[in-house]
Amino acid sequence: MVFDQLPLPSAPPPSGTNYSAEHGCFEGPEKLLEIWFSPQDNSSPIDTDSDLSDVSNPTTPKDSYSFVFPKDLRTVEKPVWDSMLATVKCTVLSVVSNAYSDAYLLSESSMFVYSHKLVLKTCGTTTLLKALPYILEIARTRCGYESVYRLFYSRKSFIFPEKQPGPHRSWEEEVNYLDDHFDNGAAYVIGDTNEDEWYLYLTSPIDIAHQEEAAIDMDQLMSETDGLSWMSPKKCPWTKVTRPSLALVDRFHGVHRPAGADQTVEILMTRLDRNAMRAFYHRNNEPAGLVGGVRVDRETGLDKIYPDAKVDSFLFEPCGYSANGLLDKGYYTIHVTPEPQCSYASFETTIPASVTHPVGNLGKHNGQEASVRLLIRQVLDIFKPGAFTVTYFSSVSHEDDESENISKLMRTVGKFGGYRRKDRIIHAFEGYDLVFGHYKKI
């Protein structure tokens, strides 16, 4: 299949409207998909410390810079991403970029594009997993990425699960869908099933065990992606994703892995304080969109969490808020549904807290722990949730570090004034440790 010779389906224009106003009570909890691709086998490693901001602007014609850099995800044109997002049923509202990534603010959440990594986070009744085959095909045909190094998919329990369309009608259905595309995945349900449980699916990094490729039915794939023309089955060898070779693993570690620990903190909040939520409603004669978003940032103190970040924030009508921020190689994203009957806010960041929220001279591990706790406290003081969940992923570089890493995570999800901890659960995965904590207001 030659991707460039196929017409792209058109995506609906961005409206900037609040979907909760259109469809009643809104499903705030997001579906989060993160995919790391291995570098193509026949290209030179990309220097991710180089400033690509001039050549990777989503509006820059691809032909103007394709002779300078190997193709990567950041060289994919915005209309291609628009078409992929049409399968999810969301649109692009705004884009900001820095030297390392492009942050797409969506009508229903966010997308972050790095050279070898894509993060897609959508809320409401979006069909996020339907975009998976499209993303894999874009990576293969535009960038030569034949292998997925690692994949993560997660979400908390839905507020209105009965409103979700397939393949999101149940966790079992989501897992089956992902297993149809990957043969090295594992699924987890974390937390009290009577409370807000959290779901995680991830593939193992590299296992060079021999495996057979299983062909996927192209007619079925066409129906799943609403018959998009780029999925023409003519001479299109669609196979189940396999694990990359050891040579690519070595190159991936040299190209894509961060120099320090890879950490992600996510705070999922419900039963938000009504007074705190007033700022997230559109006001008479106030411009919505990006102008309103700046007002929200200033009024709530959100602009003080990362004052040096490049920020893109958006206020919806009649209410609701989304923001993306970029700081060096990290990102953060915030989404708020303020209606009292379904209030919800999420905060996610990959920006090292030890850099942005330093806490004295406490040593390496104690300093990281205190910094993350300071960040969490700052977010809680803005939203004042009645209940919240924290998930904290941290990479482990050496086996000798695992014990201390787990201890650090456990201490991070400790006590927070005004809240009672209901759960604290630790999971050790291949190369990563995860701690889950759930809290209720006292």
Residues annotated catalytic, as ranges = 27, 30, 109, 123, 322, 335
Please give the Cα distance from 242 to 356 (Å, whole number).
38
* Alpha-carbon distance values, 417 to 201, 292, 381 (Å): 32, 32, 11
Q: Which parts of 13-106 are beta strand (E)?
A: 31-37, 92-97, 102-106
Burial of residue 200, with CB atoms counted within 10 A of its CB: 0-12 exposed, 13-18 middle, 19 or more buried: buried
Q: Which of 219, 232, 242, 260 is nearest to 353 (CA)?
A: 260
Helices (H) and strands (E) in the chain, counts: 11, 16
Note whether 159 and 27 are within 8 A (CB): yes
Please give the Cα distance from 279 to 290 (Å, whole number).
14
Neighbours of 235 (CB within 10 A): 7
What is the end-to-end Cα distance of the chain in Å, rounded?
A: 59
Angle, helices 78-88 vs 132-143, to 10°: value is 160
Please give the Cα distance from 159 to 51 (Å, whole number).
42
Please give the Cα distance from 260 to 110 (Å, whole number).
25
Q: Report the Cα 279 to chain-centroid distance in Å.
A: 25
* Alpha-carbon distance values, 147 to 18, 206, 218, 274 (Å): 37, 11, 19, 47
